[in-house]
Amino acid sequence: MSLKYSSVTKKIVMSLAGLFLTSFLVVHLLINLLILFDPTRELFNEAAHFMATNPLIQTFQYVLFFGFILHIIFGLVLQIQNWMARPVRYEKKGSSEQSYFSKFMIHTGAIVFIFLIIHFANFFVKAKFGHVEALTYPSGATYEDLGMLVVNLFQDGAYVIFYVVAILLLGFHLDHGFQSAFQSLGLNHSRYTPFIKLFGTLFSVAITLGFISIPLVIYFS
Amino acid sequence: MDLTLKIWRQASAEGKGKFVNYQVQNISADASFLEMLDILNERLVVEGEDPVAFDHDCREGICGACSIYINGRPHGPDRGITTCQMHMRNFKDGETIVIEPWRAKPFPVIKDLMVDRSAFDAIIQAGGYVSVSTGGVPDANAIPIPKRKADEAMDAAACIGCGACVAACKNASAMLFVSAKVSQFALLPQGRLEARERVQKMVAKMDELGFGNCTNTYACEAECPKEISVSHIARMNREFLGAKLLSEK
């Protein structure tokens, strides 16, 4: 289906979908961090409840799925075309790339995708279709205790390692992807591009450290 | 210096190639890379062997004919120069040098280190020109052009079409070449008239020929003998997006 689009169009779709998914990561991280700042998990559970019931967010959920699907399908098509463009490999591999992680976008992307499926089964499916114990707080509010799901999962050392590795790879993916998205959209300027690159790297580090801190804090406390 | 050369030998476009090792002795550090290959070839001719075929023309770094992938880098281990301008002082005595042709589906090997780069001509034919109107010669200064724009267009026009960008790119993408050609016209008033059509036709031809997609790895910029900036790729993306959204038909 996406074969008929030009290479430049496909890259523009990739960058828009990628930036959209990145904005989702920020929201997701901010909500996750609530669990560290509230031992009763009320803040986190309240936020999760809001996300699961707010009609606007529920609508956006479908936009988000669509973004994921576009990013994955176009990414695969682009990668297959790229492999096909050089049927005979070099004997001596080139090493002149200036954005190192660009070489591994398909690999980091694939592992993040596997992580996503497991993550989905662990949280989204359970929250939406399974039964999660409800908790009534002193304030009188009752929320499903999704925070407990998180805390329980992060007691498992193997899962924590898997989670940390997947998020690290996501960070590498973001580091290239962020500045690359601007370039694909034609936004390159001698004054702003160095800032975009630096911001992208700092942003990727912040997102990575933010997500990684949660399982580590829970596991070691 | 004495060197071992591991060279790709392929008798014809259809032939199955392989690497062959050659020893060369007493090579001057001041010899150019092509002169070193000339010395090898003279010996091969005397010995009754087939000399190594490689493209070369001006040997002044301006024609874009020479095109050899040396030790994992197009035009070898030096920045901003073509193979013919690269000298043997970049290598150490006793070193083994791996010498390969450009590798890309749209650049089939003709013989040994020579590849067919007419795919680039096809992209130019698709729109890399300004349609010529006949008539008297216009005054050179009749159309004012800001100096900065003229300089940037000239930087893009410095592309010699050697194909090092395609050779260096992990995806064999021709984006740097095509974007330089799009930019040199898009920046000037004479080129603006056909800019929207041009960018769409050239991108379509590039895709049709089987070049890869750009992943913004920027190896092309690092290896370009004319040091053409990837900012031209961004300009082309911009031009393309604008043309798609604003084209009249």
Mean pLDDT of all residues in A24-36: 95
- Whether A89 is in a domain gets the answer no
For the domain made up of B3-104, the CATH class stated in words is: alpha beta
Q: Which two structure tokens, joined as six digits, stand for A150?
A: 């998180």
β-bridge partners, A135: A143
- Cβ neighbors of A86 (< 8 A, separation 6 or more) are B103, B104, B105, B170, B171, B172, B212
ipTM metric: 0.92
Q: Which residue from B213, B217, B241 is facing A97, i.e. has the nearest CB?
A: B217
CATH number of B117-131+143-246: 1.10.1060.10
Residue A23 tokens read as 């904005």
Residues belonging to chain A with any Cβ–Cβ distance to chain B shorter than 8 Å: 6-12, 78, 81-82, 84-99, 102-103, 105, 176, 179-180, 183-190, 193
CA B202 to chain centre: 17
pLDDT at B139 > cutoff 70: yes
In-domain check, residue A99: no
pLDDT in tens, A132-148: 888 888 888 888 888 99
Range B44-69 burial, b when 16+ CB lie within 10 A, else e:
eeeeeeeebbbbbeebebebbbbbbb
From chain B, pick out residues whose CB is under 8 angstroms from the CB of A96.
Answer: 72-73, 168, 219, 222-223
DSSP annotation string for B217-235: --HHHHH-TT---THHHHH
Q: Which domain holds residue A199?
A: 2-84+105-220
> Domain for residue A170, yes or no?
yes
Task: Considering only the beta carbons, identify the residue of A6, A98, A183 that sits closest to B222.
Answer: A98
pLDDT band at A2 (very low <50, low <70, confident <90, very high): very low
Q: Give domain status of residue A98, yes or no.
A: no
Tokens at B76, concatenated: 């070898």
pLDDT confidence of residue A1: 42
Say if CB B102 and CB B67 are below 8 A apart: yes
Domain ranges within chain B, ordered by starting residue: 3-104, 117-131+143-246
Lowest mean pLDDT among A41-55, A205-219, B44-58: A41-55
Q: Are B34 and B66 in contact (CB under 8 A)?
A: yes
Question: Burial, A37: exposed, middle or buried (Cβ in 10 Å; 0-12, 13-18, 19+)?
Answer: exposed
Among candidate residues B185, B174, B182, B176, the one with its CA nearest the CA of residue B201: B182
Residues near A124 by beta carbon (within 8 Å), at least 6 away in sequence: none
End-to-end CA distance of chain B: 63
Q: Cβ contacts of residue B191 below 8 Å, gap of 6+?
A: B130, B184, B185, B198
pLDDT at A3: 60
Q: Which helix (H) or strand (E) holds A90?
A: none
pLDDT(A130) > 90: no
Best of A3, A4, A6, A8 to disrupt the B interface by mutation (most B CBs within 10 Å)? A8
Average pLDDT over residues A194-221: 96
In a domain, A57, yes or no: yes
The whole-number pLDDT of residue B249 equals 65
Q: Say if the Cβ atoms of A90 and B103 lie within 8 Å.
A: yes
CA B160 vs CA A3, A170, B63, B69, B118: distances in Å: 31, 39, 6, 17, 14
Backbone angles phi, psi at B57, to 5 degrees: -145, -80
* A37 domain residue, yes or no: yes
Give backbone dihedrals phi and psi of B4, rounded to 5 degrees, phi first: -105, 125
Does some domain include residue A92? no
User: Angle formed by the axes of helices B118-127 and B195-208, to 10°?
Assistant: 150
- B173 has pLDDT over 90: yes
Is residue A171 within 8 A of residue A207, CB to CB? The reply is: yes
- Is residue B3's pLDDT more than 50? yes
Q: Residue A133 has what pLDDT?
A: 84
Radius of gyration over every alpha carbon of chain A, rounded to an integer in angstroms: 20
Residues 6+ apart with CB under 8 A from B74: B67, B68, B102, B162, B163, B164, B167, B168, B223
Of B173, B223, B239, the CB nearest to A96: B223
Q: Give residue-wise pLDDT tens across range B36-72.
A: 999 999 999 999 999 999 999 999 999 999 999 999 9
pLDDT-derived band of residue A191, with 50, 70 and 90 as boundaries?
A: very high
Contact criterion met (CB below 8 Å) for B52 and B41: yes
Distance from CA of A183 to the nearest CA of B (A): 5
Q: How many domains is chain A built from?
A: 1
Least confident segment among A64-78, B123-137, B183-197: B123-137
B65 and B55 Cβ atoms separated by less than 8 Å:
yes
CA distances from A213 to A23, A145, A185, B196 (A): 19, 21, 33, 49
| Average pLDDT for A59-68 | 94
Q: What residue of A is the nearest CA neighbor of B171? A: A82
Q: Is residue A182 part of a domain?
A: yes
Instruction: Give residues 189 to 218 of B whose Cβ lies within 8 Å of A.
Output: 200, 203-204, 206-207, 210-218
Minimum CA–CA partner of A179 in chain B: B216
